Structure formats: structure tokens, C-alpha cells
Amino acid sequence: MFQLLLPFFLLALSLFTLTIIWRIKARKFISSTTVASAYDAWTEDKLLERLWGEHIHLGFYPLNKRNIDFRNAKVQFVHELVKWSGLDTLPKGSRILDVGCGIGGSSRILAKNYGFNVTGITISPAQVKRARDLTPLGLNCNFQVMDALDLKFEDGSFDAIWSVEAGAHMIDKSKFADEMLRTLRPGGYLALADWNSRDLRAYPPSFFEKLVLKQLLEQWVHPNFISINEFGDILRTNKNSAGKVVCENWNTYTNPSWYDSIIEGIRRPFTILSLGPLALIKSIREIPTILLMNWAFRKGLMEFGVYKCRG
């Protein structure tokens, strides 16, 4: 009964809070500085970490096992992308660049479970500080503040490039691909996952879909979305790519994350309240956008793209 009533409860709650949201300044993308400021704020208020753990990205839900813990699904996602992309064939000690590393959740798994030497970069100084605080001594992870569109590494510095849900924040998708593939050694592996729209050129959005996309862009500092095929073509035509790029849509595996991201707050109300009354307002603010994300991904307006290729 709870699962049946949950969508109606969340819809009522989101409608109730829309008036609050409309009075709050949107998080529009202006430059990489606005992305850094948003993630600094999300990191420093500790709300996302307290609710979702060390991983901000979506989880992976096997088709035959949907009822799994949200945090475990996030860890499962990392292992599934490693296996799907072929990173698990790399020897221990391989050099991995985690582009858009957040607070280091994926980086630590790559280092601990696979023995990789991981460098994580993010535009957010607060994320770098928190990633360093969470990383045990002796684990081969280091974290740096760096713009993904201007990587400060030599050509071919890494055996693999890893990036999860970072590309949607990049205003120049081609430059994003250029920098990752430039720093990947010949024969190295690229493993990437991101939020994409459907092909909006071939299938233009309706008036309502335009409103949804506007909300998704302006609330979470995204400059634009492109389709899986569009970004796949960017990778295929890159001079540093071997040419064979494999892309898939993992909506089926990741979509349960949206409801679960809200349910975590219902399961752990004191986690929110322990951070003060402002944390409650902040958590409620996110619900309409999460619900719109859920709708957009379920209807195919948005797609969860995964990509793999060799340098």
C-alpha cells in the first residue's frame, strides 16, 4: 500500500513546495564557477552525504533484484561499469583518472577493490577536502581541484579514464571528450556514464517537455543536454579515439534511484533534522526536480548513457 500511495504523496508534497522553490534563486549554469559553488554548498551542508553516503550518482538495480538498498545499488553501479567497460582487465597499479570524482566514492572503490592508482579531479574545493578526509591512509587515491575542460596532465598519462555523471555540467562536450582522450594512453580504456536527453533534433520536445528540461537545467547547474548518439559521435570522431565506441542506455537499471533518493529522507528523517531546520527546507526543495527527473527518464525524454572505448 505504501508503494502505491508514495507517488501521490510525493506529488502533493512537491506541489506544496513549488511556491517555495519559485522564490528561491535557481542554480543556473553561468560558468564552471557556478558548478563549483553549487557542489561546494552541497558538500558543506552534508545533507547529500548523510542521506546517500559517499556516492552522489545513481545506483544499479539488476532486473531480477530490484529491492536492494539505495547505497548498495550505488556501489553496485561502480562494479557494473568497471566490468562492462573492461577496466577489470587492467593490472593492479594501473593509473586511473576519475573526472568529476565528487567526494571520492568511486575512486576509493577503484583503488581498494581493483588495486588501481587513482587520481580524482573535481571543480569543487569542498569536494576535494572531503574526499581527502574520507580516504584512509595508504589507499592509492589523490584528489585535486581541476577543471575537466583544462586537464593539467601530459598526453597519455593514464591507463584508463573514468567519469560518472560529470559531462552534463560541461558546456563544451567536444572539449570534455578531447581532454579525457588526450590524457588516455594509446590502448587505454575510457569508461563514462552520463545524463543525456533523447535526440532533440530528430524528436523536438513538446511545450511541456521544454518546461521540464528548463527545470532540470536551471536547478542543477546544467548548461545543456545532448543525446547518447551525439556524444558517441563526438568520441568516435576524436583523433585520439581508436574509433570503436560502444554506447548503451541504462535507464532500465538506474531508474529506481529517483524514488529511492527521496525515500532515503523518509527512512532517515532524523538525519535531516539533525542538520537543522534549514536542511529540511533544502531537502524539500529538491523533491520536485527529482520527480521531474524520474518522469523524464521513464518517458524517454532523458536517457542514462554509458560509453566505452579504447584510446
Question: What pLDDT does residue 167 have?
Answer: 98
- Phi and psi torsions of 64, nearest 5°: -95, 5
Q: Write the pLDDT tens digit of every residue in 113-164.
A: 999 999 999 999 999 999 999 999 999 999 999 999 999 999 999 999 999 9
Cell of 33: 564557477
222 pLDDT more than 80: yes
The fold adopted by the segment(s) 2-310 is Rossmann fold (3.40.50)
Can you give the pTM of this predicted structure?
0.92
pLDDT score at 217: 96
Q: Are strands 158-164 and 95-99 parallel, antiparallel or unpaired?
A: parallel
Pairing mode of beta strands 302-310, 184-197: antiparallel
Nearest CA-CA partner of 193 in 53, 80, 297, 112: 80
- Using CB atoms within 10 Å of the CB of residue 278, give its burial: 0 to 12 exposed, 13 to 18 middle, 19+ buried: exposed
pLDDT at 19 (0 to 100): 45
Whole-number average pLDDT of the chain: 92
What percent of the chain stands above pLDDT 70?
92
Mean pLDDT over 229-246 rounds to: 92
Residue 1 has a pLDDT of 52
Q: What is the mean pLDDT of residues 221-243?
A: 94
Three-state SS across 269-288?
Answer: HHHHHCCCHHHHHHHHHHHH
The DSSP bridge partners found for residue 308 are 191, 246
Is there a contact between 117 and 95 (Cβ–Cβ < 8 Å)? yes
Sequence spans of domains, the chain: 2-310
What value does the mean pLDDT take over residues 23-49?
Answer: 89
Beta pairing class for 302-310 and 245-249: antiparallel
Average pLDDT over residues 28-50: 94
